Chains A and B, each alone.
Chain A
Amino acid sequence: MNKATNNACEGCEINKASNLKKLGINIDKSDYVVSLAGNPNTGKSTVFNALTGLKQHTGNWPGKTVTRAEGGYKYNNKKIKLVDLPGTYSLLSTSQDEEIARNFILFGKPDVTIIVVDASRLERNLNLVLQVLEITDKAVLCLNLMDEAKRLNIDIDVRTLSRDLGIPVVPTVARSKEGVSELLKTINDVATGEIKCKPYRIKSLPKNIHNAIEKLRLEIEEEFPNVPNSRWIALRLLDGDERIIEAVKTGEFISE
């Protein structure tokens, strides 16, 4: 297999130097905004460091990043601002770290959201993935910690996963920079619209709830024709989310 040589190239600085320029925190004017979401302790900050060349402290415990960290890089002459969000298990509750993450994806409208998941704990991580996919259309799944999955004898069929979720899936080992250049290219392609995502929407819902969501969704779309995530707003309204109710009152997410 040419796998070994591939990996060697990935880790090599010369390989990326042609396309990637790490910008650290120099992110004044950016062409695209990309956010990093994911469960705690899946290596978001490691991915962040690998892309920006910054040295955010990383640690092996859930909840290490509680603020938004920002950095930037340049790829194919496009300046990209990368925002590292706090790791969360869901976007449905009200703790402050979850709110920071959710509000950024919803109101910050990133051009691409990278969802970093722990390949060795995929099922549990998918809960958050599905919630993020309810909010945004443009997402990339970064299947991180592939080395750990391998050591645990877990095989993941990347193509099936990608087809099921309707978004590109990139396996990585961010620690040793494996898969990073593939990730960069995919982010770029999603941002430019070269790759179109058709994200999975939550299906296993009782009939009456499904109908209620549809009814409300259509009404929201009628009133705010440009809103990209009417279904998510419907979900949150039905859940009685104060912040979203407030946003509907003020029309926060349509002002652009």
Chain B
Amino acid sequence: MNTNKTLNTSNDLRWQIGEDFHDKLTEGIYSDAATIAQNSVHKKGVTKRFRFDRTLDKIVTHKIWGFPIMLLILSVVLWLTIVGANYPSGLLDDLLIGNIHPWLKSMSETLTLPNWLSGFLIDGVYLALAWVIAVMLPPMAIFFPLFTLLEDFGYLPRVAFNLDHLFKKSGAHGKQALTMSMGFGCNAAGVIATRIIDSPRERLIAIITNNFSLCNGRWPTQILIATIFIGALVPLNFAGAISTFAVISIALLGIFLTFVVSLFLSKTILKGEVSSFTLELPPYRPPRFWKTIYTSLIDRTLIVLWRACIFAAPAGAVIWLVCNIYIGDTTIANWIILNLDGFGLLIGLNGVILLAYIVAIPANEIVIPTILMLTVMSSSITGIGEGNGVMFELESMAATSEILKAGGWTLLTAVNLMLFSLLHNPCSTTIYTIYKETNSVKWTTIASVLPIILGFLVCFIITQVWRIVI
């Protein structure tokens, strides 16, 4: 009873003072802040440094040059990652799969472990882990520090500034540029970052479209397939450049789709006004180079790698099992692949790829190892690998390419795989994060299903057009 009295008084007073209370209060705060600052802050002219910031901002947020500069920076980062990761990847591959795996096998023979146990542990769990480390660690160890250096320097808010009016035109919030950038590292992190967006409508748009930012689990897939199939189309000298170009095109397509889908959502199920906001362009700060390298290696690279390993180990076990358990005279894997093949081929993929994506729902990182393994098994290539469900060694890109071609892969399959890798459901961690953030089964479902429908559509159209033209 008592408390209602306070609320009643408050309501009466609100009628009396009218609607501009909020504005008057804000004005009061600003004017007080100005007075206090005046009393204690003394500026001694504009400095060189300020002018440097201003000049740099004029260049990187230039109406015409802003976008090419963004592209250039992205290209350099990706090119360094692609070119730089190749060699250490090969070394790790050689060590973990070329040397340690046979050694483990011979150990298990010496210990006379039963075949199913050594197969399950060494050919399933161990090889999945080894693959993930060999494929993921080098690109991440290059990509993350570079990205963090840019972040520390203060470039990200400039990207947001450049993209702001495009987001506004799409009926979304300008800060979505920041959450989108986070998504390039990890979609789950990007979804959490959408908390900086005030309006629930615009926040949902940002959450649903975050999956169109290629996350780090998908970069390796893009890079590997681009190197094998697209880089191989041109002379060796240009291979690195052309693969970089292919990967960037996919990343840009993702950004383009972010705008298209945002626009679609804001015109259909998430109608509403665009809200305005202030974006502060922080000063450029010289990044502390070694410290950044250290923390991004420890904080990001190892944590993401650890997560990938946790998901890869059971996935490796599952792969081995579906390849070695028979229903009648065929394995579970073969049975599923045969059933998925019809639909898969219709959209320019195949049953192997679709099955790999089902197995890899927990973590996109293990898509490529799974595909390779399943391809060998289902097309029964002989002479490579050591039996069903073994993720074997591949000494070189060329060997990988041979296997895939033997499995009936063409350039079309590669292009579609790259597209499908961009356009499919988010990984389970991201789905769970979306559910936690939205608290809604409906929006979680939409965010999960919408990209995969788009993926089927895009792959289908590309395939049909391709088959008519070529």
- A→B interface (CB under 8 Å): 40-41, 55, 57-63, 66-67, 86, 89, 92-98, 120, 122-124, 126-127, 129-131, 148, 151-158, 160-161, 164-165, 175, 200, 202-206, 208-209, 212, 215-216, 219-220, 223, 234-235, 237-240, 245, 248-249, 251
Given A95-B198, A126-B36, A155 and B30 contact (CB-CB distance below 8 Å): no
State whether the Cβ of B112 lies closer than 8 Å to any Cβ in chain A: no
Contact B17 A212 (CB under 8 A): yes
A201 to B28, CA, bound (A): 11
B468 lies within 8 A of chain A by Cβ: no
**Cβ-defined contact, A152 with B49, below 8 A:** yes
Report whether B32 and A165 are in contact in the complex, using a CB–CB cutoff of 8 Å. no
Residues of A with C-beta under 8 A to B21: 209, 238-239
User: When chains A and B are docked, how far (Å) is the Cα of A219 from the Cα of B13?
Assistant: 12
Q: Apart from A148-B283, A161-B40, what are 8 other A-B pairs with CB-CB below 8 Å?
A: A61-B178, A62-B282, A161-B36, A202-B29, A209-B24, A215-B13, A219-B5, A223-B3
Residues of A near B49 (CB, < 8 A) are 151-152
Check: B192 CB closer than 8 A to any chain A CB: yes
Indicate if B10 sits at the interface (CB-CB under 8 A).
Answer: yes
Q: Is the CB of A63 within 8 A of B196?
A: yes
**CA gap between A211 and B20 in the complex, in Å:** 15
**28 pairs from A and B in contact (CB 8 Å cutoff):** A55-B295, A55-B298, A59-B148, A60-B152, A60-B154, A61-B154, A86-B195, A98-B198, A122-B37, A123-B37, A127-B29, A148-B285, A154-B41, A155-B42, A157-B40, A165-B36, A202-B29, A203-B28, A204-B27, A204-B31, A205-B28, A208-B17, A216-B10, A216-B13, A219-B5, A237-B10, A239-B25, A248-B6
Contact A61 B29 (CB under 8 A): no
B47 at the binding interface (Cβ < 8 Å): yes
CB neighbours of A67 from chain B (8 A): 192, 195
Task: Please report B residues at the A interface, Cβ cutoff 8 Å.
Answer: 2-7, 9-10, 13-14, 16-17, 21-22, 24-37, 39-45, 47, 49-50, 148, 151-154, 156-157, 160, 175, 178, 192-193, 195-198, 278-280, 282-283, 285, 288, 295, 298-300
Q: Are A219 and B195 in contact (CB under 8 A)?
A: no
Q: Do residues B25 and A235 form an inter-chain contact, with CB atoms below 8 A?
A: yes
Question: Please, how many angstroms separate the alpha-carbon atoms of A157 and B153 in the complex?
Answer: 29
Query: In the complex, A153→B41 CA distance in Å?
Result: 10
Shortest Cβ distance from B158 into A: residue: A61
Beta-carbon nearest neighbor of A154 in chain B: B43
Hey, which chain A residues are within 8 Å of B157, CB to CB? 61-62
Q: Tell whether, in the assembled complex, residue A153 and residue B3 are in contact, meaning their CB atoms are under 8 Å apart.
A: no
Known interface pairs A66-B195, A152-B50; A206-B24 also in contact (CB < 8 Å): yes
Report if A220-B16 is in contact (Cβ < 8 Å); known contacts: A59-B151, A126-B33, A127-B33: no
Q: How far is the CA of A223 from the CA of B21 in the complex (A)?
A: 24
A contact residues around B28 at 8 Å (CB) = 202-205
